[in-house]
Amino acid sequence: MNKTNSHAEISNDFDSQEQDLRLQVFKAVRNYYQHKFPAPKFTAGETYLPVSGKVFDEAELLNLVDASLDFWLTTGRYAAEFEKRFAKWMGVKYCLLVNSGSSANLLALTALTSPKLGDRRLQSGDEVITVAAGFPTTVNPIFQNQLIPVFVDIQLSTYQIDVAQLESALSSKTRAIMIAHTLGNPFDIEAVVGFAQKHDLWLIEDNCDAVGSLYQGQKTGTFGHLSTVSFYPAHHMTMGEGGAVLTSDPLLKKIVESLRDWGRDCWCAPGHDNTCNKRFEWQLGDLPYGYDHKYTYSHIGFNLKMTDMQAAIGIAQLDKLPNFIARRRENFDFLKQQLRDLQDFLIMPEPTIGSEPSWFGFLILVKETAPFTRNELVKYLEQKKIGTRLLFAGNLVKQPAYKDLFYRVIGDLHHTDQVMEKSFWLGVFPRLNEEMLIYIASTIREFIGDSVNE
């Protein structure tokens, strides 16, 4: 069924009674939205300001209900539409929806271990260059595939990989690079891509923080062999849970799809059979000739599909995405301007040269010479109802989960430790308005003033 995201028109595929009933439901949903979700009010010092959150209107709720009325509980028409539209928006050939950004990272890295890649496949003991300053699920798939992470440091102010350490990280076992565009700021893509090409390495971009970020005018998530996106409520757009793997490589697309869908060799969509027109004519592995292709498996896979109800929300969010990105940039720039006179105490975030970030957060690092600590400032902000977050796991190698695992470290990760001990970030997501940002900045200024005068 061809279906748009408009609910003013009902598809002719429905009979007249169903069309009428759906319109009645949609009218009730609009009324419910107006009652349930009135415009929020802000009172400084009383209304909590989170660092992130979902931004939606009645369109998302209408799509969610529309999908639920089909009672198609797995991937379906909305997912197919989203994959097509999002791939086009990003500038890649393929988008494969999954149930989370973390699953997207797992699939992207696991895909590189596929036997279908021949001599280029990653195998147990191979090394993957990454950073320790970030979110665990960028690194966890490396461990989960019996590979060895090689941790390099980051640069201050951009908080992206220190590309000067790439050559030191290289060994005869190095086969891939997997790093994130942390908090929406692109890493030095020219240097990383050049290094990967020079040494014939796979590159995975974790683009979960950075949907809409540009590097030399091109969207991040389009430079690597594979990239990943998250649709968790904290991110640039949401489906509640959800994520995607992006690629323009047909073979990698087929591998990711197989791994996502139980490891099967068949590529039929749910509810469809015999797309290949030879369902009972395959000869694969040691199976008998003609064994049902729907039950033939070429990978040790998972079931990480998304539901159509989630994808329905994503369709409505995708229409809003350009505005979401613009608002994040505006909020970042406004907050930085508001805090410009505090640079004796705080290091402000800087975009990577040649980039135009789609900011996920505003990272602040408290200087060594400041008369206060990061923890004191964060505690004060939280008391004033201003949400804060640390840079995720800080230094991953100091987390208890990684204590007994094997990895390599380049240098002493000094900047990573500084970020772990002295930084935090504030929100710039679209629901924060100028009044709220002024309150955030004035509260920081108030705290610093009191600290200096003590």
Which residues are part of the catalytic machinery?
Answer: 235
User: Crossing angle for the helix pair 374-383 and 434-453, nearest 10 degrees?
Assistant: 130
Nearest to 107 by CA among 300, 307, 396: 300
Query: SS in 3 state form for 251-315?
Result: HHHHHHHHHHECCECCCCCCCCCCCCCCCCCCCCCCCCCCCCHHHCECCCCCECCCCHHHHHHHH
CA–CA distance, 98 with 232 (Å, rounded to integer)? 12
Q: How do 243-247 and 94-98 pair as beta strands?
A: antiparallel
CA–CA distance, 159 with 424 (Å, rounded to integer)? 12
222: its two tokens = 């389009």
List beta partners, residue 206.
Answer: 180, 228
Report how far apart, in Å, the C-alpha atoms of 45 and of each of 12, 53, 214 are: 52, 19, 36
CA–CA distance, 240 with 231 (Å, rounded to integer)? 7
- The enclosing H or E element of 433 equals none
Report how far apart, in Å, the C-alpha atoms of 191 and of each of 134, 254, 352, 355 are: 20, 29, 12, 13
CA–CA distance, 243 with 105 (Å, rounded to integer)? 9
248 three-class SS: coil
Q: What is the DSSP string of 91-116?
A: T-SEEEEESBHHHHHHHHHHHTT-GG
Q: What are phi and psi of 432, to 5 degrees?
A: -80, 125
User: Crossing angle for the helix pair 101-111 and 136-144, nearest 10 degrees?
Assistant: 40
Nearest to 178 by CA among 407, 387, 345, 378: 407
Q: Which residues contact 332 (CB under 8 A, 6 or more apart)?
A: 357, 359, 362, 428
379 three-class SS: helix
Report how far apart, in Å, the C-alpha atoms of 306 and of each of 6, 19, 265, 331 are: 22, 27, 19, 31
